[in-house]
A and B are shown apart, each in its own frame.
Chain A
Amino acid sequence: MKISPSWLRDFVDLPVDYRRLADELTLAGVAVEGISGDGENTVYEMEITTNRPDAMNHYGVAREASALYDLPLRPIEPKLPAAQGKSEVTIEIQEPELCPRFTAREIRGAHVKPSPAQIAARLQLIDQRPISNAVDATNYVLWESGKPTHVFDLDLLEGRRLVIRKARAGETLKTLDGVECKLATEDLVVADAVKPVGLAGVMGGFDTMITEKTKNILIESAWWDPVTVRRMSKRHGIHTDASHRFERGADFESTVPSTNRVAELILNSGGGTLVGDVIDVIARKMDQAPVELDLREVDRILGERLSTVEISRILSRLGFALMAGNEDRYLVHIPSWRLDIEREIDIIEEIARLHGYDKFPNTLPAYAGEVRDLPDAHKDGRIRSTLLALGYDEAISLTFISKDDARRFSKVAELDLANPLSDEASVMRTSLVPSMLNLLAYNLNRGSENVRLFEAGKAFEAAGEKAVERKQIVFGATGIVDSGVVRGLSAGAEARPLSFFDLKGDVEDLLGQFGYWELGYDAQTAGYYHPGRSARAVMDGAMVAQFGQIHPDVAAARKLKQDVFIAELYLDRLYQHDLRAVRYEALPRFPAVERDFSFVFADAVEFETIRQRVMGLGIAELRSFVPIEIFRGEKVGAVKYSILLRAKFQSADRTLRDDEVAAWAGQIAKALEELGGVQRA
């Protein structure tokens, strides 16, 4: 909103220059966001909060300045000639709830022509286009005092009559902007005897507007129900300076003064005769109850005692009237332009803002309560620090995905957005995987080939009428491993492509932070994973993670040319487990003995089967049984593999004897043979 500070001088004698005024108005709550122009052509760009329609005009801003500097405010007092005869215009309000007041005034024989230079210049300065003296008069009054008004060509109104009513089914109205509106039966219109001639509080009609031919003018100034105006403005997509003010609440008492001010401006510039008295139809009185103000409440909320003199001075300059009651109590009458003031706290705010927020001292309140973390804060922190230590950068992606991705990466019922930003972002993400793939692709397309990212966030799904949010962590990796890491290549560092097992190791590190009875891995993963290179982690019967290489078809569809690995942790399930409690175990005092086993197995025999079989032998001194080397090739034969396994034996209370180790090794070799293994020479 543009405001000309020199225009403010019509109403208050400003004691400071325009720059300082701008600063001090801002600190009082009517914000000047920018200043352009010089001297008398200085223009403020102002940002008035939605609760203050009374300050969206020059008089309103001047009132703030008058309170700020404790200076008198000159009233706007239209000087009109004596009216001639009687107006034949009749007004009928059929909707008293929605239009409690409608004021009109008739001028005959006026000349419609360009506005006087001073009026035109002032409008132009604040970016308003002058049209004609009659139209400009309404616009000038809007910017002067904030009250929207309208002028009709009286001769085009059928029956010299205005009816405020709901639109009828099938009615249309061509508005001033030339657009034909189909009216809804909820629309409130100003109609003549036959047809709608204006969309109440939003825009006037095209067919009854002022033209060069107009001789006789009817001025309208009404008070419209804010919610009705807002709904119409939204329904028809028309936002005007008038609707902006009406939907925030206009001044009920301003309909007559604004009508007279418009009449004065038209008569001064275009001549003509004022016909009859002002027609002022009040269908319903507005109830603006006085508010009780207790000065002790002012202290309680603000924390500093302000003098009664100052409080009284601030409030009266703003148009409030104070009546003293018992002790510290006052009854405050609210000016008609302040529909935002209904309660004691509203008045306290007025006092605080004109006293100046910065004049209140800074204090810290005492507190004796406890300080609590979020229930999962420790688990979140552990997972996050582990991922950072494993070399994953933390990322944040959009919460929305495309419908296609929602279907491809999940089976849950998705939540659609009613007003999405785009088709690509039209669904609440049901999985964090598609966005992670997008982030990886973004990096690969920009020459970063070694990428490790993780994101902690929520996946969403519909459950009946409700939305369910599940915390997840997804991490993705692609590129090479260089001495166990992905970045910081140096001379002598060996690089190899990242593999499924790198990712599995990271998953194991993360899951290993938690306590559980049983953790197993199987291959039952979602369809977007490579079926032979992905796994599911099942912890005490619940799937807590799945991970692996992305299915080549999915990768191809996203133009991912190198192998990409993804892991998903389902925190709602994982967090059923506590973090692993650490218990000290005595360090070994006797040496360990290792024995290696070189066997050939059919591909169908998985390592986990072998491991379980050997661990199942019940050898208490068997401390670990791990694969050291795996080899496939012609020498081994098709669908077979050769594996080197290492067993480590150790006792907590003695040095092991050769004969007992040999016996155990024999047991293990036998077990491996029973699994179909063939010992290699």
Chain B
Amino acid sequence: MPYSVPRLSDFSPAVLDEAARELLSALDQESAAVDSESDWKLYRDRWMARKNGALTQLNDLWLKAAPGQNKRDVGQRVNELKIKVEQTVEATLSRIQSGTSSSRLAAERLDITLPGIRRSIGAEHPVIKTMNEIIGVFRNLGYSVEEGPEIETDYYNFEALNFPPNHPARDTQDTLFIAGQDTKALRDRLLLRTHTSPVQIRTMQKMKPPVRVVCPGKVHRNDAPDATHSPIFHQVEGLAVDTSITFCDLKGTLDHAMKALFGSNVKTRFYPSFFPFTEPSADVQISCIFCDGKGTRDGAPCRNCKASGWIELLGCGMVDPNVYGFVDYDTAKVSGFAFGMGVERIAILKYGVDDIQLFFNGDVRFLQQFA
């Protein structure tokens, strides 16, 4: 039912107010429905045509019909409404002319369910990302970063770390050697470092205690590649030497670090091991992050921890006094600890990767998962 100007019998302010509200509401509603210039012309005429337009009717039905004592009040109201109507009709025209008519917007509609056009963002390598996370944890504990060469001498990789020549512990390292070194003294022969521990020696040679460093880097072993072995991998070595560092400090530091890396619910367990350059030496296990240390998952034995509830993660120990001998530290005055962890191993745990080769073949289908 389109709006038409009502004939009034009562010209009290309340009635006039109500009638004005109805008129303005109809004006706006009709304006919103205007979609094209031809629509607008009809709209304009309905409200402003001299003959039978709403404004004309207002004049006839309200102003002329009003009794004398109300004439002044009604006249004022009709004037105000007239201005409003003119403004609205004009605004309606500029709206459709500026092109934001609903039909035009409808024509411009996109299927917003189509995929976005994405600028590809490169993915950080999961091993480097993990390595940086580990470094971050230790930086917050006051550790500086050091690095050393990937091609080392026998001296730094073995001798100064208390692996004497011909010691069986050297066998466990599966070393890759540089060719043509036979004429040199053993300690000068070049090899690919089998661990980042040589950086410990290089660091202690150049600075006096207190020392607190982490040494990230690539290491090499003579291991044929398969799902669990790689001739290259990465380690983060840590070293803290000061006047009163104890085995309890070593435990507390690594317990904190493992919680920072794997979550505060993780528990650590230390048990004796052997490394020539630490004594006492320890291996560290964390409670299995897959079964929360229960050893079973979904009613079956947990495969990740072989149902033991524990996962072996890193090696550590108090720096062996023999090592201090190689770097001129006073064994009686200082003490310290060292630790080393395999970055791939931690990344494998964090991301559930089942083949270490995926880290090294550059497959973008793998790498992009870490973007």
Chain A residues packing against B (C-beta within 8 Å): 26-29, 31, 49-52, 226-227, 230-231, 247-248, 300-304, 343, 345-346, 348-349, 352-353, 357-358, 360-365, 367-374, 377, 387-400, 415-421, 425, 428, 439-440, 442-443, 446, 448, 451-455, 457-458, 460, 465, 467, 469, 482-488, 490-493
Contact = CB atoms under 8 A, between A and B. Distances in A.
Interface in B193-247: 210, 212, 218, 220, 222, 224-225, 231-232, 240, 242, 244-247
Given A230-B166, A421-B222, A397 B362 contact: yes
B114 A490 contact: yes
B149 interface: yes
A467 B362 contact: no
Given A374-B147, A389-B122, A399-B220, A231 B280 contact: no
B11 interface: no
Contact of A52 (B128, B181, B274): B274
Given A50-B274, A248-B168, A451 B248 contact: no
B365 interface: yes
Contacts of B361: 439, 442
Contacts, number: 271
A401 B128 CA distance: 22
Contacts of A304: 246-248
Interface of B: 114-125, 127-128, 139, 141-147, 149-151, 166, 168-169, 171-172, 176-181, 184, 188, 190, 192, 210, 212, 218, 220, 222, 224-225, 231-232, 240, 242, 244-249, 251-253, 255-256, 269-274, 279-282, 318, 320-321, 335, 359-365, 367-368, 371
20 contacts: A52-B274, A303-B249, A343-B321, A345-B280, A345-B318, A357-B272, A362-B248, A388-B123, A391-B122, A398-B232, A399-B232, A416-B180, A421-B225, A446-B363, A451-B364, A467-B151, A467-B178, A469-B150, A483-B117, A488-B120
B144 A448 contact: no
Given A360-B251, A363-B248, 14 more contacts: A343-B321, A345-B320, A357-B271, A360-B247, A361-B248, A365-B253, A374-B146, A377-B145, A391-B119, A398-B360, A418-B176, A418-B177, A443-B362, A483-B117
Contacts of A29: 271-273
Contact of A393 (B123, B180, B192, B232): B123
A443 B365 CA distance: 9
Contacts of A353: 271-272, 280
Contacts of A469: 149-151
B178 A371 contact: no
A363 B249 contact: yes
Most buried by A among B116, B282, B361: B361
Contact of A421 (B122, B166, B224, B368): B224
B160 to A, nearest CB: 17
A303 B114 contact: no
B177 A399 contact: no
A485 B179 CA distance: 45
Contacts of B192: 399, 417, 428
A492 to B, nearest CB: 7
Contacts of B210: 367-369
A360 B252 CA distance: 10
A448 B253 contact: no
A302 B318 CA distance: 9
Contact of A367 (B142, B150, B181): B142
B247 A388 contact: no
Contact of A301 (B146, B246, B360): B246
A390 B123 CA distance: 10
A487 B116 CA distance: 11
B271 A31 contact: yes
Contact of B178 (A372, A416, A458): A416
Contact of B144 (A372, A397, A417): A372
B127 to A, nearest CB: 6
Contacts of A349: 272, 279-281
Top 5 A-B pairs, shortest CB-CB distance? A303-B246, A29-B272, A488-B118, A439-B362, A49-B274
Contacts of B177: 417-419
Given A393-B371, A451-B364, A488-B118, A346 B151 contact: no
A158 B180 CA distance: 45
Contacts of B184: 465
B122 A454 contact: yes
A380 to B, nearest CB: 11
Contacts of B114: 490-491
A488 B368 CA distance: 12
A32 to B, nearest CB: 11
Contacts of B246: 300-304, 363, 365
A251 B280 CA distance: 23
Nearest to B242: A365
A530 B297 CA distance: 57
B142 A369 contact: yes
Contacts of A428: 151, 178, 192
A482 to B, nearest CB: 7
B125 A300 contact: no
A394 B123 contact: yes
B272 A397 contact: no
A587 to B, nearest CB: 27
Contacts of B269: 27, 358
A460 B118 CA distance: 38
B364 A453 contact: yes
A394 B248 contact: no
A49 B273 contact: yes
Contacts of A49: 273-274
A419 B176 contact: yes
A443 B273 CA distance: 42
Contact of A364 (B244, B247, B256): B256
Contact of B271 (A27, A302, A395, A482): A27
B231 to A, nearest CB: 6
Contacts of B249: 303, 363-365
Nearest to B231: A421
Nearest to B142: A367
B118 A487 contact: yes
Nearest to B180: A416
Nearest to A441: B362
Nearest to B256: A364
Contacts of B320: 345
B212 A418 contact: no
Given A230-B168, A367-B212, A485 B364 contact: no
Contacts of A348: 279-280
Given A49-B273, A349-B280, A371-B142, A395 B367 contact: yes
Given A300-B335, A349-B279, A421-B222, A393 B364 contact: yes
Contacts of A420: 176
Nearest to A369: B210
A365 B240 contact: yes
A31 B312 CA distance: 12
Contacts of B272: 27-29, 349, 352-353, 357
Nearest to B272: A29
B168 to A, nearest CB: 5
A302 B247 contact: yes
A485 B149 contact: no
Contacts of B172: 50
A555 B134 CA distance: 39
Nearest to B222: A419
Given A352-B247, A395-B125, A301 B364 contact: no
Contacts of A248: 168
B271 to A, nearest CB: 5
A493 B117 contact: yes
A367 B364 contact: no
Contacts of B225: 421
Given A301-B318, A394-B125, A370 B144 contact: yes
Nearest to B148: A469
A343 B331 CA distance: 13
A448 B363 contact: yes
A559 B274 CA distance: 49
